[in-house]
Every structure is written in structure tokens, then in C-alpha cells.
Homo-oligomer: A and B are copies of this chain.
Amino acid sequence: MAARTTYHHGDLKAALVDAGVAAASEGGEAAVGLNRLAAGLGVSASAAYRHFPEGLEDLLVAVGNVARRRLAERLALRISEVAPSQDAATDARRRFRASGRAYVEYVLEEPGLFQVANRHDRGRLPDADPFGVLESCIADLVSAGVLDEARRPDAATAAWAAVHGLAVLLTEGPLRRLPPDRRDRAVERTLDMVEAGL
């Protein structure tokens, strides 16, 4: 956006990632183009290759990392907002449920970023790891006595699959046009299933 006065940009890499995040936010992966973004920053396309050696894919991974970090932060936020009660078991359950709701909430807010996050992933990062957040929720369930230790293996995977699948279906999938009330109902129904079935 902002035209540039100096020959060197200053921090082109960060600027490209920011622009990529903005583009992905509206328009999804298809809107993230190296030429377009560079032009938008008043910079030639090939300049980007200095900062993303493997080209577009590298940039998409970087954008995806931002998206994953934001998602993880949203999960942590919603979990932290759960008002503690006297019962550790119901607290753990509520936090677990809040994380699932927050997942869908974020994805509905930022479907484009979610798309990039899914499609360009090079493994877990400590500060951008939504799955890690979910795993600690599961650990809480175990230590609160809600979930049996024997049932812990793959419990996080199963829960993740349910919530992730729902998010995909609701944004890119056939449930795209579900009205908000039916959407919420589907979310709660799915969380019911997970909570009862884990």
C-alpha cells in the first residue's frame, strides 16, 4: 500500500507476510499471489524470492503460521474465559467445550486464513499449535477424572477430527450456507457427541 521512498524496503519479508495475511483473510489461498502482493507493496516480484527462497509456497507457509498462531491464541483466550466453579471435573469439561466452540468461531470469522493454515503446514510450532492446546485440554480432562487414562490415546485426534471436520464443512463444505441458528445447533450437537463419546 504505502509507497516507498528508499531503495531498500526495510522489512519486506514481514510486509509480504502481512499483505499475504490480509489477502488470505478475504479471498483465501487464491488471493495470495506473489506478483500481486509485491506490486501492492511497490516492489518487484523477484524481490520476494530473496526472503522466500522456495517462492510462493514459503510465503503461504508463513501466512499459515500466522493463521495457526491466531487460532491457538483464540483457543487459549476462550479457555481462559471460562469461569471456574467448585467442581474441577465440570471446569475441565467446560474448558474443553469452550476450546471446540472457539475453533469453529475462529474458522467462521477467518475462513480464508483457515484455508491457508490447513493447506500449507510444515509441522507444529511451539507458539502456533492449536492441536497442542487441545491436547492440554484432554490432559486436564484426564487429571480431573473425567476421561479415563486408558481412553487417552488418540482421544485428542478424535476430538480434533470432529471439530476440524465440522469447521471445514461449515466454511468450504456443503454446510456452507447453513443459517446461523442451525449452525450453532450443529456445533453444540457435535460437541455433545464428542463430550459423551470420548
Contacts and interface: CB of A to CB of B under 8 A. Distances in A.
Interface residues of A, number: 37
- Copies of this chain present in the complex amount to 2
A196 B161 CA distance: 16
A155 B188 CA distance: 11
Contacts of A164: 165, 168-169, 173
Contact of A172 (B118, B160, B190, B194): B118
Interface of A: 118-119, 121, 123-124, 131, 153-155, 157-169, 172-175, 185-186, 189-190, 192-198
A191 B127 CA distance: 31
Contacts of A119: 172
A161 B162 contact: yes
Given A174-B131, A198-B197, A157 B189 contact: yes
Nearest 8 pairs between A and B by C-beta?
A: A197-B197, A165-B165, A161-B166, A193-B197, A154-B189, A161-B165, A196-B197, A162-B162
